[in-house]
Structure 1
């Protein structure tokens, strides 16, 4: 009777415990233990790297080493501790790879995570490129060769321009920010308001200002351009450093930008508003007005932080031959929005 009871108990145990499930549970536990060991090694090496960086920074603050030497030592320290991680986790990685392949039957874990460790120290700590929204607005005018603003055919206060675009700023040197290269694209809207009740009249290829027969409440000529500005920007900046990255801030710093732009004329239009027989009349006159299709010019800015005084001058004449060379000029404020 006792022997029968013993065999019955063994039979019940064999059904209550699934050996496959027990093996899977055991594999998962092993993987979890190995991953924790791996994470502990990485955490230990990163703390050691942080301590090394702090000591290097202390030497730099005491002027025992210069900035270039400090950065070189930090880079070497980062590579040393990354190599330590690889060496110390190599055996764990092999075990994990075997266990995970056994567990999933698919992914090669070691290959999947190898690049991740490499990226930890190979990736540059220096953020070199930033993106900005560019907004600019101000006064616009157009001048003949040798003509001054006092002699201009356009209202100084009423003629305005507006610009909106995107710009990328990249440091020319990897570890210094005194020289930056700026490039991008912008939409420019240049408006001109003629003086003395005049508007543009096209006769063949010739475009001239003529007096309108009625009193004009508004006479405005606008030219829309798509341009690609390029500037070299100079000025001081503040170096900001964290464990994983280094960047430079120009907040509350003076900056100077010199460069130019080139692009295309997207179109132009002329708006007239006047009163006729007691009614307000608005006219929109569209046409090419024999304007230049290719736009190019010089531009520059002088600013503090995000705001700057902005000047641009079109080297191309507004109207093509046989018209006199009338060049657009603008001055206003420019804002770089992060």
Structure 2
């Protein structure tokens, strides 16, 4: 009997180690997010070196102010294109990963659980297993929903389609329990890639007119008119998690994302790119797909307020940009998004 117990304990340890050796969904998502972050940092670092070289030429009188500004603009656009191309490949990896998750090909492994086995001097005579959750945990976040612009403090009578204008967001967050002996308050922080898409009504599209960006009517029927802005954001939330603590064998265990949750906070970050996509038939009846990249006078820096209310991993998610979409338009228009958010532990 004693040998059987020894065998069982060793078998459990080997089984646990085998499970932990497998790469989990969260770890793979975190790895992709880390790669994207590294790409952005590296390209910004290279751009800084290039801009400093231009400034040196300007200081030596080899370039005029206008020539220096134009050269910096070209360098910035080149780096932005490089980021876009590199990130696009990683986005494909993430889409495959999410699809595998949805198809059930990746099983959840709770890496926060620990199994501790104590060996006494008389060889495997005592064992003890305990599971709990670390004070700081991490989650992969994915969100999607509808997107629009608030004009004159209202969304009614919008110039953009309500159900076909959409947003989606994905990223990695960390969740830290604030109080040592209470599970209610948590500080949630991380990094996200946000996509805001606007589809205009009545065959209209955006045109840059000096410092203004106007929504004008096309001379041909547009099958598609989509304006996309992509941002890298740092979201910060105070999360109220109503998951009750558990007491077993005189020990207290804290878990998260097992009950109702409420998050209040905001986000801040910068624009990665802007793109307008137009689809129409030309005079010969051929399908034309026209993609135009540019800044369209969109603010490079963005920040806003966000909140979510949900149960377990699923929440209703609301975001509102405090920064207007366009820099100098006479009428401020602020992006607003409403949808579903998923926090995968």
Q: Give the structure 1 partner of residue 204 of structure 2.
A: 198
Q: Give the structure 2 partner of residue 91 of structure 1.
A: none
- What is the correspondence of 1:177-192 to structure 2 with a 5 Å cutoff? 177-192=183-198
The 1-side partners of 2:221 and 2:120 are apart by: 84
Native 8 Å contact 1:218 1:272 kept in 2: yes
- What is the correspondence of 1:270-289 to structure 2 with a 5 Å cutoff? 270-277=276-283, 278-289=285-296
Q: Give the structure 2 partner of residue 260 of structure 1.
A: 266
Q: Structure 2 unaligned runs (5+)?
A: 1-118
Q: Give the structure 1 partner of residue 15 of structure 2.
A: none
Residue-by-residue CA offset, 1:243-289 (whole Å, 9 max, x unaligned): 898331432x1111000000000010000000112111110011110
Please provide the CA RMSD for this pair. 2.7
> How many residue pairs align between the two structures?
226
CA displacement at 1:205 relative to structure 2? 1.1
Secondary structure of the equivalent of 2:219?
A: coil
- What is the correspondence of 1:187-336 to structure 2 with a 5 Å cutoff? 187-240=193-246, 246-251=253-258, 253-277=259-283, 278-336=285-343
Native 8 Å contact 1:126 1:245 kept in 2: no
- What is the correspondence of 1:1-338 to structure 2 with a 5 Å cutoff? 39-40=121-122, 127-146=134-153, 148-240=154-246, 246-251=253-258, 253-277=259-283, 278-338=285-345
TM-aligned CA distance change 1:126 to 1:198, over 3 Å: closer
Residue-by-residue CA offset, 1:155-214 (whole Å, 9 max, x unaligned): 101100000000111100112111111000000000001111100011111100000110
Q: Structure 1 unaligned runs (5+)?
A: 1-36, 54-124
Structure with higher Rg: it is: 1
TM-aligned CA distance change 1:181 to 1:42, over 3 Å: farther
The 2-side partners of 1:314 and 1:179 are apart by: 25
CA displacement at 1:239 relative to structure 2? 2.6
TM-aligned CA distance change 1:270 to 1:309, over 3 Å: same
- What is the TM-score with the length of structure 1 in the denominator? 0.62
Secondary structure of the equivalent of 2:183?
A: strand
TM-aligned CA distance change 1:129 to 1:272, over 3 Å: same
Structure with more of its chain in helix, by fraction:
1
The 1-side partners of 2:242 and 2:150 are apart by: 36
Residue-by-residue CA offset, 1:294-319 (whole Å, 9 max, x unaligned): 11000000001110000000000110
The 1-side partners of 2:135 and 2:185 are apart by: 12
- What is the TM-score with the length of structure 2 in the denominator? 0.61
Native 8 Å contact 2:270 2:301 kept in 1: yes
The 1-side partners of 2:142 and 2:171 are apart by: 7
Native 8 Å contact 1:144 1:324 kept in 2: yes
Secondary structure of the equivalent of 1:177?
A: coil
Native 8 Å contact 2:241 2:256 kept in 1: no
